[in-house]
Structure formats: structure tokens, C-alpha cells
Amino acid sequence: LYNLGNTYFHKKNYLKAREYFLKLRTLFPKSSHFDLALLKIGESYIREKNFEPAIYVFKRVIDVSKNQDNIIIARMELADIG
């Protein structure tokens, strides 16, 4: 599911990409790709200039991630948004 979402993301079909990332989160909440899917969801919102949901998603990464690298990425994205 992550790879499908990533494929749609790179094709700039952000809505379809989010569908797959959200399915991954719902069906496999313990997946090693869980944080990456959240980051991609946030990034997809940024690419659409839809900042409010992006902020929510990046804050969620900070709250739930156990991976320091992903937390740092989320914080950097939030700083870029302002």
C-alpha cells in the first residue's frame, strides 16, 4: 500500500496517494511505513497548498512517532509552513 501511495504521489495524484497511505494506516497501524505514510500525507497537502491539514498531520507525526528522524522531518516541515 505504501508503494502504491508513493507511486501516485510521484505522479502528482495526491488524492489517490492519500487514499493508499490512509488505508495503510488503517489496515496496518504497526507497519514500519506508518510514519512515512503520515509524512507523505502531510507533504501531499503542502503540494496542494492546503496547509491546515498538513499542520495537523505533522503534529500527529510528532505525537505518535518513535523515530527521531521522522519527528525532525515533521518539525522542519512545520517550520517551513510557518
Q: What is the pLDDT of residues 24-57, one digit of tens each?
A: 989 998 898 999 999 999 999 999 999 999 999 9
Q: What confidence score (pLDDT) does residue 46 get?
A: 97
Burial of residue 26, with CB atoms counted within 10 A of its CB: 0-12 exposed, 13-18 middle, 19 or more buried: exposed
- Calculate the CA 64 to chain-centre distance: 12
Q: How many residues does the chain have?
A: 82
Q: What is the pLDDT of residues 56-72, one digit of tens each?
A: 999 999 999 999 999 99
How many Å apart are CA 27 and CA 14, to the nearest integer?
A: 20
